[in-house]
Amino acid sequence: MAKKPSFFDRLTGNNYESDFDSFEDEEPSVKPQVKGTPPPGAQLMQSSQEDVGAAQLTVDVYQTPSEILIRALVAGVRPEDLDIAITRDMVTIKGKRVEQKEVEESNYVYQELYWGAFARTVVLPAEIDVDLAEAFEKHGLLTIRLPKINKDRQTKLKVRG
């Protein structure tokens, strides 16, 4: 009898010849989509411009009628060590967590915290006003406020003679 593949092996898709069920036979589950929202994964994309070897920063992205908000945990990173680049339709966040070597490697029982470079590019679901964007960090939570461009706004233009 063949060895049962581990959860990690099944998750990563390693091929094993066994008599166990595979995930390929199952029908994909489809989440109901809220009207007016992009399909899952459409607004979050990893850019090929990001540093090779950098971890992907986890983010929450949500929107209100007037703005888009991005939140990310950046505990252990000083605000001046964060690099945030904004265009009208995309935001890139880069940074690096530097470990303070206070304990010898052999004395660790568990070592699960991530130390090193991270980056994330978020493709925005609407155009934003780059000049009015703001970012702040409090208790390790980075929040980026991105006001949407009001495309319905009109103004009167006077013609000079």
Distance CA 146, CA 70 (A): 8
Is the pLDDT confidence value at 145 over 60?
Answer: yes
Percent of the chain with pLDDT over 90: 40
User: Which amino acid would we find at residue 115?
Assistant: W
Counting runs of H as helices and runs of E as strands, what totals does the chain give?
Answer: 1, 8
Neighbours of 29 (CB within 10 A): 5
Q: What is the pLDDT of residues 106-135, one digit of tens each?
A: 888 888 888 889 999 999 999 999 999 999
Domains, the chain, in order of start with CATH, read 34-100+111-147 (2.60.40.790)
Q: What secondary structure letter does DSSP report for 63?
A: E
SS3 132: helix
* Stronger pLDDT, 20 or 59, i.e. the higher one: 59
Helix, strand, coil tally for the chain in percent (to 5) = 10, 30, 60
* pLDDT, mean of residues 26-36: 45
What per-residue confidence (pLDDT) applies to 93? 95
Q: What is the pLDDT of residues 60-87, one digit of tens each?
A: 999 999 999 999 999 889 888 899 999 9
What per-residue confidence (pLDDT) applies to 133? 95
User: Which tokens sit at 83?
Assistant: 């690099």
Distance CA 140, CA 151 (A): 34
